[in-house]
Amino acid sequence: MLKTFYTAYMSTFSDPDLKHGDVKAIELRKKYCTVKCRKQLVELGESTDSDAVINGQDSDEKWTKTLVIKRDPKIAGHYSVSYSNDEYREDKNLHKRTTTIYLAIVKENGVFKVDKILNSTSGF
């Protein structure tokens, strides 16, 4: 579920029709996130000026090839989603940057959904 969601969601940022990409992202949130999570995403977006699903302001379809999903072995229903991209830094050299998002998943009406973006900076 997470791989499908993140692959589709990150790809919306590559849509040349920005409005269509935004509409598709909202549809994906409705399909893969609980109401509680969608409210949290709006609040986080307003307070950070970024998209909490990807922990950033933009994404690229190419980055989906680097997606890594891990289950937290200690806490049931907790997962991490990581992806990497190349970025140029002040030294003008190309560096890999890895972004990790920590999530809580629940089963709602027989379907697994993202219930919360966890504000954790440590891995598991």
Mean pLDDT confidence for 105-110: 97
Percent pLDDT > 90 in the chain is 66
In the numeric block, which tokens belong to residue 113?
Answer: 């959904």
Q: With bands split at pLDDT 50, 70 and 90, how would you rate the model's confidence at 121?
A: very low
Identify the pLDDT of residue 96.
84
Mean pLDDT confidence for 32-49: 93
> Which tens digits make up the pLDDT trace of 57-91?
888 889 999 999 999 999 999 999 999 988 767 77
Asked if residue 114 lies in contact with residue 32, where contact means CB atoms within 8 angstroms, the answer is yes
Asked if residue 103 lies in contact with residue 79, where contact means CB atoms within 8 angstroms, the answer is yes
User: Mean pLDDT score of the chain, rounded to an integer?
Assistant: 90
**Position 5: which residue type?**
F
For residue 77, what are the contacts with CB-CB under 8 A and spacing of at least 6?
Answer: 104, 105, 106, 115
Asked if residue 71 lies in contact with residue 79, where contact means CB atoms within 8 angstroms, the answer is yes
Mean pLDDT confidence for 7-22: 89
Domains with residue ranges and CATH for the chain? 2-118 (3.10.450.50)
Q: In whole angstroms, how far apart are CA 96 and each of 11, 85, 90?
A: 20, 6, 14
Q: With bands split at pLDDT 50, 70 and 90, how would you rate the model's confidence at 123?
A: very low
What is the value of pTM for the model shown? Answer: 0.86
